[in-house]
Structure formats: structure tokens, C-alpha cells
Structure 1
Amino acid sequence: MLSAAQAQALHGKDGDGCWNPKVCYSRRSYARHRDRKNQQRNRHRQETVIELPPADLAAFADLQYAVLIVYREAGAESIVHAVSAQVWQGQERVAIVQPIHCIGMVPSQIHLYIKKLLALLEDKYGVRKFAALERLDPYLCPIRPCIHYGEVENATV
């Protein structure tokens, strides 16, 4: 933020001696105009349109795949609240596996359930593994009653 004369006085022969006229002028210019240059670069990136050949969606219309939906809080150590799945054919949803609560299950039991679910999906739809895993927050759990909504029926304290 210093002027060139002030920077030369501070870092020149009388100062710490690090002023190099071959380098310092361009570095100072870059530092002064960095925001404007970055803005121009970002604007150029956003304006660039990639033209793709038209997609042949008919080739993918018969493709069946499954998506595993896991209701759990963010974080590696969070517990799995519920598990669900969806089967898709092309761009249309074919089937929904209703979610089940996994509270009280140990991880090996959850893995066993998912393996059985995959075996069922392979028999019925030919899906051998999940194409994607989607994590949703437990507050989006559609099962009622659910502990995240305080709707416990017949609860006595």
C-alpha cells in the first residue's frame, strides 16, 4: 500500500536492501490490480460456453440403476438414522424401497440389510450395485412416528 518512493526508501539501500527493480515493480502492479484481474478472469470463465453434441437419451432410456439413500447427520462418525433406495430407468423413477429406521442396529446389521436389498434389486431389476449414495439429513426422514419429530406413541415415563 506504500507508494513506490516509500517502498524504495523502506526496502532500498537505506532500508533492508531487498528492493529489486526487476521484480518489485511488476509485483506491486500485480498486487494493486489483483482484484480487477481476478474479476475479469472469473467473468471470462463464466461466459465460456461449451458446446456439446446433442445427447442421445434414447440410448440410456433402458438403463436401470439404483440409488441408496441414507438418512444420517453430516460427519464420518454419525449414526445411520434410516435407509431407503430408489430404482430408476433412464430419467424415470421405477420403484421406491420404503425407508426403515436403523436406530438400534449395529453397522454389520445395516450392511447385511443393504446386501439383502441389493440381492432383491438384482433379482427384480438386474441392478448389481448402487450407482450413487445420497445422504439426507435425519430431519427429512419420512417415517412416522420418528424420534426427530417427538412423535413417540404410547410412551410412558
Structure 2
Amino acid sequence: MPKPLNTKCQLCAKLPTAKAKVLHGAQGDGCWNPRVCHNRRSFYRSRTKDNRSIDSIAVEPPATYFAVLYLYKEPGDKPLHALGAELWLGQKPICRLEPIHCFGLTAGKIRSYTDKVLQAFAKEYGVSLYQYKDMFEISPNHCPVRPCPLHPES
């Protein structure tokens, strides 16, 4: 069985020789061995070139509908500033609910609203959506809703 590739040597092979000698020589971590390293660096560089010559193909991913929810809030147990949602088909968003502020909305009202958004996406595109595929927390500093208390108009 062949010896496994050394990750450190793979990274070192990408560096210019002078920089590699400084990093791995007497002033660095001390692993530089002039009897071995020149050949090893050459081996790893040519191996990388060989790997680049491998053909690649593109296969269209399955096109399935899914919804994602964007929560504009500070990390942790902080109140929700705003929320938005998107419906995706495969790798592309196809429908967006523009974000809204959540000031004064209780957790129950927010849950009810997000459920209605899922139902609206499902009805509009004739698909079944039972839950959001993913939720992303975004800093309220990036809130796109205007006017916004975090972004007073000048």
C-alpha cells in the first residue's frame, strides 16, 4: 500500500523555494531537508498538475422546491428584528417575500405569519411545503427594510 500524502509537503510545494526554506528551515519549524525536499516538492507539484488534467462533467442537480427563512436578529436569545423568506427551485430562488419588521409581534403571530408564507408559496406554485428547509440568522445591521430604526434617514 502506498504511503499517504503529506499535507504539509503538499502546501510547501506550492511555495517558492526561498520562502519554503525560511518557513521550514533552521529559522522555521526545522523540517527542511535539502536531500529530500527538492525531489518531494517536485513530486507534489507534478501530482497537482496531473490532477488538473482530469476531465470533469456537469450533472444537473434535481430541481426540487424548498423554502428558506431569513431572520434578522442578534445572535443568542435576542428579539427578532425582521424576517423574510424565499422559495427556491433547485439552485435558483424563484419567489421572494420581502422582509418585514417584527416589532410588537408575539412569537405566536410570527409563527402564524411564517406558516401563511409557506402556504402562499405552495398555493402559487402548486407544491407541498410543510416547513422551511433552512433558517439563516442575519445581523439586524443588514436589515433591508426602509424606513428602519437602525438606519435613520439622513
Q: Aligning the two structures, in what range does the TM-score lie when normalised by the shorter sequence?
A: 0.5 to 0.7
What's the % identity of the aligned pairs? 28
Q: Does 1:130 align with 2:143?
A: no
Q: 1:101 is matched by which residue type in structure 2? A: H
Write out aligned runs for 1:99-138 (5 A): 99-125=99-125, 126=127, 127-138=129-140
Note the aligned Cα RMSD (angstroms): 3.1
Aligned to 2:70: 69
**Which secondary structure state, in structure 2, belongs to the residue aligned with residue 58 of structure 1?**
coil
* CA shift digits 1:3-29 (9 cap, x unpaired): xxxxxxxxxxxxxxxxxxxxxxxxxxx
Kindly state the Cα deviation for residue 121 of structure 1 after the two structures are TM-superposed.
Answer: 1.5
Decide whether aligned partners of structure 1 residues 105 and 95 sit closer, same or farther in structure 2, where only a CA change above 3 A counts. same
Aligned to 1:36: none
Write out aligned runs for 1:1-157 (5 A): 43=8, 57-60=59-62, 62-76=63-77, 78-125=78-125, 126=127, 127-151=129-153
* CA shift digits 1:73-101 (9 cap, x unpaired): 0012x000111001111111111110111
Decide whether aligned partners of structure 1 residues 96 and 57 sit closer, same or farther in structure 2, where only a CA change above 3 A counts. farther
Decide whether aligned partners of structure 1 residues 75 and 119 sit closer, same or farther in structure 2, where only a CA change above 3 A counts. same
Structure exhibiting the larger radius of gyration computed from Cα positions: 1
- Aligned equivalents of 1:67, 1:56: Cα separation in 2: 26
Q: 1:137 is matched by which residue type in structure 2? A: S
Aligned to 1:12: none
Structure 1 stretches of 5 or more lacking a match?
Answer: 1-40, 47-53, 153-157
Kindly state the Cα deviation for residue 133 of structure 1 after the two structures are TM-superposed.
Answer: 0.3
Kindly state the Cα deviation for residue 58 of structure 1 after the two structures are TM-superposed.
Answer: 2.5
Q: TM-score, normalised on structure 1?
A: 0.58
4+ residue runs over 3 A deviation? 41-44, 54-57
The question of whether the paired residues in 2 share the 8 Å contact of 1:122 and 1:128 is answered with no
Q: 2:152 is matched by which residue type in structure 1? A: G
